[in-house]
Homo-oligomer: A and B are copies of this chain.
Amino acid sequence: MRKITIVCVGSLKEDFWKKAVLEYQKRLSKFCDLEICEIAEAKLSSSPNQKEIEQALENEAQKILEKTKGKKTFCFCIEGKPVSSQEFSKLLTENTNQGEICFVVGSSFGLFENLKSKFEKLSFGKITLPHQLFRVVLMEQIYRGFMIFSGSTYHK
């Protein structure tokens, strides 16, 4: 079975996001073995300076690297390559044919610059979303990707 890991920084707080994620996990179980791997968001002071933020992102980056080691990995950032749902479907199904893949979703401060350069960068759009909502959007796009691939009318 295709294997996908979503490596994300920070956890889901709101109950409605947890339920949305559960719903897509249930739907995706038909198509892939999906693991969600949460990395703790590095603790910051209430108004962190740039150096503090960089340090936090670097700490998170080390943990992300451990989880993605040896796997084809894509990360999401605004400057990434914009993809449509069809393009994402192709990327998803072609790459999971060849082995396990990872998607990395950063914290509200994003991802460490040096880390991003190691992965293929993707973007779903120019807008910034909260990381919790982004996780839901990503899971819906993975589900849509498989539905497109299977020729379902889910995607019109």
A115 at interface, CB cutoff 8 A: no
Say which size band chain A's interface belongs to: 35 or more
Determine how close the nearest CB of chain B comes to the CB of A19; give it in whole angstroms. 4
A129 at interface, CB cutoff 8 A: yes
User: Could you say which of A28-36, A66-74, A77-85 contacts chain B?
Assistant: A77-85
Q: Are A137 and B126 in contact (CB under 8 A)?
A: no
A124 at interface, CB cutoff 8 A: yes
A119 at interface, CB cutoff 8 A: no
Q: Are B124 and A127 in contact (CB under 8 A)?
A: yes
Contact for A133 among B15, B19, B137, B155, CB less than 8 A: B137
Name A's B-contacting residues (CB within 8 A).
14-17, 19-20, 23, 47, 78, 82-85, 87-88, 108-110, 123-130, 133, 136-137, 140-141, 144, 153, 155-156
